[in-house]
Structure 1
């Protein structure tokens, strides 16, 4: 009887180890989630007041819901239109920072939608899906969050400028379909001075 119990415990233990290994391989375990989400893992833990179990449950749910998402490619013409619009929005920042970040936020939401992510009208769903596929690059997802906060009018001018800088890496990654490194400094006021006049308002309404 004792031998049977011992063998049963051993079998159960082996099954648990095998299941845990599969979950970690699929990104479901703690180490797998850390590797997959990078800085986003630490942010989730902080959001849950240091609770790793709750954070991992949340991140695991994101993987389950969005991990199988297939990203759609942009046509060369669409990529060019998006880059032209983004450049215009950066120029607009000099005269109207709030309007610029609002338009940049809308542009990022539309770009993510065109790449196959949830529609931007459901920001939390869209950011959750983006975090599954782009969180390992520190500035990608957090830059978009900062942009969205700025677009809601909750940031000062310097914070809005930083949001524009940080969100540009996600923009480039989505437009190109390739991972992007963190972009270099962007100072619109210095650029305007080099041009010798105030920039024109290139950003206008309408879809890309």
Structure 2
């Protein structure tokens, strides 16, 4: 057997091994592992695929393969303070200008995520996919606030129902914001930061959805 043929066989074998390792890694933990890792995000993706768990798990496994090794950059204390001050200012303006508040919060989440090392906000879909791998419990709050910020302005924009929907979006988005500004670098998987933990400021209305604070 010639040396060239031996080298070709070794290269082919190496490629096969690498492909097998990547496939195993993408299925790390199997369906149960993906469900445990993604939690509510797992159920959301299954519903998006109309109950097709195989397709949903393939999508989630691909996200882990693309973004699972990402290490989040820690924020400097000055950065935390700056982002927290911006959040506080945005939420304080909600009562008078709900849409402007929501738009600023959407922009702020994109900037904080980029500062932590996630894809830039201009690459929204990729940024959300990466966030779903590392902050699965709270990423849907970002989607909700983004939809609210991007929604066309309508005559119903100032209606009580529309304002309540935006308020709830802010409440959900706050959980992701807290997670991003408080979680340690290098952490991956599901995070469970509490709303308002160590970030200062309070919502300008009651967190009890059934009893909004009257102005």
TM-score using structure 2 length: 0.72
Shift in Å at residue 192 of structure 1?
A: 7.8
| Correspondence for 1:53 | 54
Note if contact 1:93-1:99 (Cα within 8 Å) is conserved in structure 2: yes
Shift in Å at residue 122 of structure 1?
A: 1.1
| Correspondence for 1:115 | 116
Inter-CA distance 78–29: structure 2 relative to 1 (3 Å threshold): same
Shift in Å at residue 45 of structure 1?
A: 0.4
Q: Which structure features the higher share of helix residues? A: 1
Inter-CA distance 103–192: structure 2 relative to 1 (3 Å threshold): farther
- Structure 1: state its 5+ residue gaps: 1-18, 194-208
2-structure distance, mates of 1:152, 1:28? 37
1-structure distance, mates of 2:205, 2:95? 6
Q: 2:164 aligns with which of 158, 165, 172?
A: 158
Q: Count how many residue pairs are aligned between Structure 1 and Structure 2.
A: 171
| Correspondence for 2:43 | 42
Note if contact 1:70-1:116 (Cα within 8 Å) is conserved in structure 2: yes
Q: 1:181 aligns with which of 184, 194, 204?
A: 194
- Structure 2: state its 5+ residue gaps: 1-19, 185-190, 207-211
Q: 1:141 aligns with which of 139, 142, 156?
A: 139
2-structure distance, mates of 1:24, 1:127? 21
Note if contact 2:92-2:204 (Cα within 8 Å) is conserved in structure 1: no
Shift in Å at residue 93 of structure 1?
A: 0.6
Q: Which runs of 4 or more aligned residues in structure 1 lie more than 2 Å from their structure 2 counterparts after TM superposition?
A: 22-28, 181-193
2-structure distance, mates of 1:49, 1:25? 22
Note if contact 2:72-2:116 (Cα within 8 Å) is conserved in structure 1: yes
For residues 158-204 of structure 1, give each alpha carbon's deviation from its aligned partner in whole angstroms, at most 9, with x where no partner exists. Answer: 110001011101101101125412459945386684xxxxxxxxxxx
Residue 167 in 1 paired to residue 169 in 2?
no
Shift in Å at residue 29 of structure 1?
A: 1.6
SS at match of 2:70: coil
- After superposition, where does 1:55-70 map in structure 2 within 5 Å? 55-70=56-71
SS at match of 1:101: helix
For residues 96-146 of structure 1, give each alpha carbon's deviation from its aligned partner in whole angstroms, at most 9, with x where no partner exists. Answer: 1001100100000000000000001111100000000011x2xx1111111
